Structure 1
Amino acid sequence: MAKPQASRAMVSVGRRLKALRTAVRPRLTQGAVGDALGKSQALVSLMEMGGQLPTDHQLMTMLDLYQVPEAIRLDLLAEIREARASQTVWWEEYLSALPRSLVRLIELEDPARKVSIATGALVPWPAQTLSYMQEVDEFHVRENGVERTATQHTVRLRRQQIFFRPDSPAELDALCSEAAVRAQVGGPVVMKSQLDHLAEFMQRPNVTLRIIPFSAGAAAATQVNLNVLDYPTPNDPGVATMDTGTGVAVHEDPKEVRARRRRFDYLASKALTPDGSLELIEKLSKEL
């Protein structure tokens, strides 16, 4: 079975192969490409849907047929080899304690170049401290048990590491309501620690966090948990996810992704600047 990171790369490679084939004039059919490979049309279709990566020989045969420039050949070959090189993933050891929808979300997050998040009245998960998580999820302890909930907190902390990678850390663009930084989750001590951590986290060059003030009206009151994920591959439309309360809904259709981007952009237009947001966070911390 393909590893999660590879599956995203496979979809990307498939899209690129299809675009290269359909750009040829006169247009080549999948059947004609299959004949050139000595394989079936079904295999070509499977490759273009991201279900299977071509071998190096198959790739070069296809690119010869499509008359693709050398630079693009090398780029595609490197992308395929990177996908093949993916080995075990860190979250495999936690699978028994995680909902399937959360596993799918992690699979999509891990290779992302940029994560855009709107979290309503909660501090965005990439910036949550463990103490804050524990207080927020107090109810889930009753539902899922202490051990399972603790495992999910460990996983959330591991997920945060995509923003601290030494090579190419993911970019974060996060929004939350003023309620997220005013509510004393866990009491003054826990919340002050969370606010101080948030202020420090915002100093990272790959992090932008903005507060939607109460004065923004409905935008500040919206209870939304929205993620838009972007990837390094050119022309990848990205993925949008939303917390449904019982799981995570994943939207990969480009139209659905664009609709979520528009919602995020609308909320962002109501937010304070990053500097104004930091000033508010530091002010609230001093008051605790």
Structure 2
Amino acid sequence: MTTLASLPRTVPVAAPPARFRDLLAAEWIKIRSLRSTPWTVALTVLFVIGSAAVATLSDHAGGSGPADFLPFDAYPPAGYWTLMLVASSMGALTAVSEYSSGLIRTTTAAVPARGSVVLAKAAVTAALWTAVGTVASTGSFLVSQAILNGRHADVAITHLGVLRALAASALVAPVCSTVGLGLGVLIRHAAATTLTSVFVLLMLPTMFSESNRWSADVKHALVSAAWKRLAQNWEPDPGSLGYTATVPGSWIVYALWPLVTLALAVFAVRRRDV
């Protein structure tokens, strides 16, 4: 009669927690794997740059110098409102798509640190749309100036206000995409998040004017109004009866909106079951 030798007991080893750079790599793979991402980015950049070319060409016959063209032609509102809309929508879909497909359960099971997941999504989304915004903003400036060069009305990039307008127009994309991401985590519904983003970023500023102090303060606290101040209103009319936003205040608006929405999103995911 033989006896079986006792086998050594194996103790399961817990998997090490995911590093933040691993989360960044995972989020980048998710965004890159979407077939709509490159097409959306390419079409958005072409539309923004094309709108600058159209605006410059339409005003090419009039005007007498760089001051008549650059603020409004290189960075036309139609092109950059579209950029804000697309960036916020794509940022929202980065989060909402996981909730709608149920993938968020797999993500939270693999990475219990839900706040880190949200921050990784925000970092990758902001990096992508910073690159997109930079290409669109630089392209808008170069195209408009190439057109204006025909009437010797072009300006150098070192001209007063150019760098500020270029930076503001480039950074408005990551600001809006991060805001959209934060709203997507909070709302978790694609249509509702998109409508909220459009209302907050594009429609709400039109409901307030600069004629009254309280109304001007509300308007100046919104992203699109801050972009307009930084990119277009280089030298506000000192004789205007309205209240004009300050340049430092507009940069603060750029910083606070993504920070506040991300803070709320991180707080929300830590309180939810899924």
TM superposition score normalised by structure 1 = 0.25
TM superposition score normalised by structure 2 = 0.26
More helix by share: 2
| Greater relative CO (CA pairs within 8 A, separation 6+) | 2
More strand by share: 1
Max Rg structure: 2
